Amino acid sequence: MTLTRWAALVAAGLVSACGGGGGGDGPTGPQPIRTTMQGPSTTKDYNASSAAFRFELVGATDKGIEAVDAGSLVTITTDSKGYITNLAIDTNTANVGFFGEGQPLGPPGGGVPSNADVLNDLAAGVKEVLSGEAGSYGIAILDLNHSMFGGWVITDSAPGGWDGRAGVFAFGVETATMPATGEATYNGTAMGVGVTGSQRYAFAGDAQVKANFAGMTVQTTFSNLNYHNVINNDTGTLATLSGSGTITGHKYSGTISGGSGTINGTVQGAFYGPGAAETAGVFQATGGGTTLMGSYGAKK
């Protein structure tokens, strides 16, 4: 799994890229990335789960979450060798729309980022965007074998105004034939953005989904969530969020809560790859003046 950053999320470390395309800058620098989700020389659309909010100085508004097939779309184009030449995301979640595109680039040989690396990289990118000119945007993506997930942020104010929009998404090659029996545990990564009053922060941690295919139920848990405040650089931990949901076809939805019930929200996810090899989705939770918006991906 590699952290893929493109558009305005350019920070030292794992991955960097520029909106609108461009190649890697040498054998020791960022390189175009391959995808295992589709063949070479193809363009393919993927339905995406998504969630988004608009944030102003006093907090977050227009919160929403949409399931796969609800209208958000990701389009990937590959070259003759299977490298991604363009990735575009078009969301309509909660009337807080966003469109961005670029060529994803990655470190030579890929890499498996730790949650700390994901958090540091995401926080640096979010801070760069929100302190930039109006219209500055950035996207971060984590990719598995059959699915991808990530988030975006765009500033709508003057430099340093900290007003804008943020969202998360998840998509992939949807599982065509779901298991009818048995159970599976998926472990992976959660990442996202949050607002508490005038504070803005990125967060990252662990994601776990336990699926009971016979009972058509899931248990979701987002734990070890660490945050990095992009305004004052404070760091800390967030409450574990957990809950249950129901599987319908290759998709599932449910509720989550944490902090002894002080924060509550919803989850929308789906299974991807043959035999439901992976799962990915989005979640949102609010309470006590805090709004969290995240995406996640996990493997068996």
133 band by pLDDT with thresholds 50, 70 and 90: confident
Q: ∠225-273-207 over CA atoms, to 5°?
A: 10
Q: Residue 18: pLDDT above 60?
A: no
Q: What are 6's two structure tokens? A: 């493109």
In a 13 Å sphere around the CA of 101, the CA atoms on its Cβ side amount to 13
3-state secondary structure of 118: helix
- The pLDDT tens digits of the residues spanning 74-85 come to 999 999 999 888
Instruction: Give the predicted TM-score (pTM) of the model.
Output: 0.90
In order, the DSSP letters of 17-79 are --BT-----STTS-EE-B-SSS-SS-EEEEEEEEEEEEEETTEEEEEEEE-TTSS-EEEEEE-
DSSP 182: -
What's the confidence (pLDDT) of residue 140?
A: 85
29 band by pLDDT with thresholds 50, 70 and 90: low
Domain count, the chain: 1
Q: Residue 26: pLDDT above 80?
A: no
What's the confidence (pLDDT) of residue 5?
A: 45
57 band by pLDDT with thresholds 50, 70 and 90: confident
CATH (domain of 255):
2.40.160.90
Mean pLDDT of the chain: 86
Highest mean pLDDT among 27-36, 137-146, 260-269: 260-269
38 band by pLDDT with thresholds 50, 70 and 90: very high
pLDDT over 90, % of the chain: 57
What's the confidence (pLDDT) of residue 102?
A: 82
- Residue 211 CB neighbour total at 10 angstroms: 26
- The pLDDT tens digits of the residues spanning 238-250 come to 999 999 999 999 9
Residues of the domain holding 198 = 2-299
Residue with tokens 């949807």: 174
- The pLDDT tens digits of the residues spanning 168-207 come to 999 999 999 999 999 999 999 999 999 998 889 999 999 9
Q: Residue 47: pLDDT above 60?
A: yes
